[in-house]
């Protein structure tokens, strides 16, 4: 379990991945995003998660460059993730999409590249492309996003490299117990997107009660719950005080009873699309 902001989990290929990062979903290109990336890195974050479909890789890259210049950190001190979009799933198309993401970010390599959604009949070819990029040393780790157990089994049935990460919607209303167990058994790191359920959980009475008990915010309670489940998490924020607050998770620990209380909030409720039923 990670015990401070720069602690890492070890992926099954030995690569170290920070247990907490900054997500930038739905943040538009521009100075606000550039500043958010700089702020996060200056406050100790080392992991930034973006995707081709977010259409903000250029600002993320600019934020990284400015942050490195301001802090004296090196590129290898950071862990940068992007994802290939559905329209680019296919062997050649995925290889080309990777180059495009690198170009927009202004980077020579990514630490983690993910298949964004399990588009039936397409994700296996995309996985072959990711394996090729990995074999060439172009990317440090490869994985998937929004994959259910059966998608993972399908990929692994004829992959030469199993996914190192599966990034999924994961929060107290969608605890993904079976998926979490499956990934642990197979050495695949689970990562949470939308850990705060896009803000919908911040008024939850049960979580507010726990927040009062621990003298923490509801967001901190939820993110701490992720940490104690061994789930990597990437809360999104562009506000400096939230970026700082989201990382202040390491001076308290939830009791097992309170972990169970949060687990019991599960309703298998999604704010995002269902990976078994999406049409994009």
Judged by DSSP in three states, 20 sits in strand
Let me know if 54 is a catalytic residue: yes
Nearest Cα to Cα of residue 233 among 10, 17, 34 = 17
Which whole-number Å values give the CA distances from 20 to 27, 70, 166, 176, 252, in the listed order?
Answer: 18, 21, 15, 19, 16
| Sheet (strand 110-115) strand order | 22-23, 47-49, 79-84, 110-115, 139-145, 165-169, 189-193, 232-233
CA–CA separation, 14 and 256 (whole Å): 30
Catalytic residue among 45, 54, 98, 113: 54
DSSP sequence for 114-179: EE-S--TTTHHHHHHHHHHHHHTTSEEEEEEES--HHHHHHHHHH-SS--SEEEEE-BTTB--HHH
Closest CA to 65 of 103, 105, 5, 26: 105
- 3-class DSSP assignment, residue 209: helix
The residues annotated as belonging to the active site are: 54
């Amino acid at each position: 379990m990670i015990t401070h902001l720069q602690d890492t989990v070890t992926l099954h290929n030995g690569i170290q991945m920070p247990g907490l990062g900054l997500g930038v979903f739905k943040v538009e290109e521009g100075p606000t995003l550039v500043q958010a990336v700089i702020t996060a890195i200056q406050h100790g974050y080392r992991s930034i998660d973006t995707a081709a479909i977010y259409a903000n890789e250029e600002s993320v890259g600019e934020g990284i460059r400015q942050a490195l210049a301001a802090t004296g950190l090196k590129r290898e001190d950071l862990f940068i993730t992007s994802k290939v979009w559905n329209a680019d799933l296919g062997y050649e198309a995925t290889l080309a999409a990777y180059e495009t993401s690198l170009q927009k970010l202004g980077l020579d390599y990514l630490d983690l590249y993910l298949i964004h959604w399990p588009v039936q009949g397409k994700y296996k070819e995309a996985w072959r492309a990711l394996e090729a990029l990995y074999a060439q040393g172009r990317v440090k780790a490869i994985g998937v996003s929004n994959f259910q157990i059966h998608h993972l089994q399908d990929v692994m049935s004829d992959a030469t490299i199993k996914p190192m990460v599966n990034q999924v919607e994961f929060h107290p209303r969608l605890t993904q117990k079976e998926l979490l167990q499956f990934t642990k058994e197979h050495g695949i790191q689970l990562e949470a997107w939308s850990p705060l359920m896009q803000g919908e959980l911040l008024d939850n009475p049960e979580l507010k009660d726990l927040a009062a008990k621990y003298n923490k915010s509801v967001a901190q309670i939820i993110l701490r719950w992720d940490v104690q489940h061994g789930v990597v998490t990437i809360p999104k924020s562009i506000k400096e005080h939230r970026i700082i607050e989201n990382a202040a998770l390491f001076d308290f620990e939830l009791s097992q009873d309170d972990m169970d209380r949060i687990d019991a909030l599960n309703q298998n409720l999604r704010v995002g699309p269902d990976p078994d039923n999406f049409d994009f």
